[in-house]
Amino acid sequence: MTRLSSGVPGLDDLLGGGLIPGTLAVVVGATGIGKTQLGLQFAHADAGVSGNGSAGRRGILFDMTSRGDPQSHGDYAQRMFDWRLTSVDPEQAPRLDDGFFAASRNHGDYLNVFRNAGRRVTRRDLTMEEYQEWQAELARKLNTAIAFFYGNFVQGCRRAVMDGIEPLEKKNDSIQLELFEYIYHQILRKDPEWVARDLFREHYRAHEEQIAASKYDPAKIGALLLYTSAETMLDPLLERPLDEGDLLANANTIIFMGKRRTADGKLYRALHVAKHRGSACSDEIVSYVIDDRGVRLEGS
């Protein structure tokens, strides 16, 4: 089986050679622990690499941040890889014309669907009217999101990073998780012909030949979700129970990132591969550092 490199020095060894395409990997950790850097390293890992089905394409980033706490994706990408992210306007409807499938069409590589609206995306904090407004907003922007993923996939992109989910006590309250579930099941893992039908709708027949000629295999797409936790220390993450139906329970791969304390009271960053179905993986807890190239495991 062809693996997807994580892009993180030393991490692929813990993962038995890398992440498994066609599955969901989730990185869990508190704000500032290094998730965004790791996500960008994963997204950048195919850049300039030929012969692996990705056409040497970088991955794309789908940001669900809504509270005005920027994840600094653009700053990190520029500093780490000299990569200038091309942002998609979530308010602008996609152009579904004959040039949609052209190699020259730029579908962007970064989409913040909520544009830092400064509002919590949870049902508990919204009145029924406000919740209905959120649903209407999502409905307006959904076609833009579908075009963002589908347009990049038909051009050879094979990596998708999703970020910005806030920690909640009751996961069913999260509109962000609701959106992620749709993106994952109805775009990333869906037959591309049916994704195209959802996107083009009444114009599907006009583009049917281009759609047929632009098929890709969803089983070759790597999906990485960056999930913000309330816990900052690694040990409580390792002890966290997984409820049936919980996002982490259904993920193929789980990587926890958190802080630990040395015997003399100093803090350091460490990670652990808590789950990696279908592959051998290490049981180690490994310390890591963050430098100008991102996350790097100690000794790598």
Residue 173: what pLDDT? 64
pLDDT tens sequence across 102-131: 999 999 999 998 765 555 556 666 777 877
| Predicted pLDDT at 154 | 96
Predicted pLDDT of residue 281 = 86
Task: Indicate the pLDDT class of residue 71, thresholds 50, 70 and 90.
Answer: low
Give the rounded percent of residues in the chain with a pLDDT score beyond 70.
88
Q: What is the CATH number of domain 11-297?
A: 3.40.50.300
Distance CA 107, CA 148 (A): 6
Measured distance CA(178)–CA(55) in Å, rounded: 31
Average pLDDT, the chain: 88
Per-residue pLDDT averaged across 252-259, rounded?
96
pTM here is 0.92
Q: Please give the pLDDT value at position 55.
A: 61
Is the confidence at residue 193, as pLDDT, over 80? Answer: yes
pLDDT tens, 23-36?
A: 999 999 999 999 99
Q: Which two tokens stand for residue 37?
A: 């850097």
CA separation for the pair 133, 130 (Å, rounded): 5
Letter for the amino acid at 153? F
Determine whether 267 is exposed, middle or buried from the number of CB atoms within 10 Å of its CB (0-12, 13-18, 19+).
exposed
So what's the pLDDT on residue 169? 62
The lowest-confidence range among 65-69, 88-92, 159-163, 265-269 is 65-69
The identity of residue 120, as a single letter, is R
Question: CB neighbours (10 Å) of residue 7?
Answer: 26
Per-residue pLDDT band at 2 (split at 50, 70, 90): confident
User: Nearest-CA neighbor of 161 among 4, 9, 282?
Assistant: 4
- Pseudo-torsion of CA 237, 238, 243, 247, nearest 10°? 60
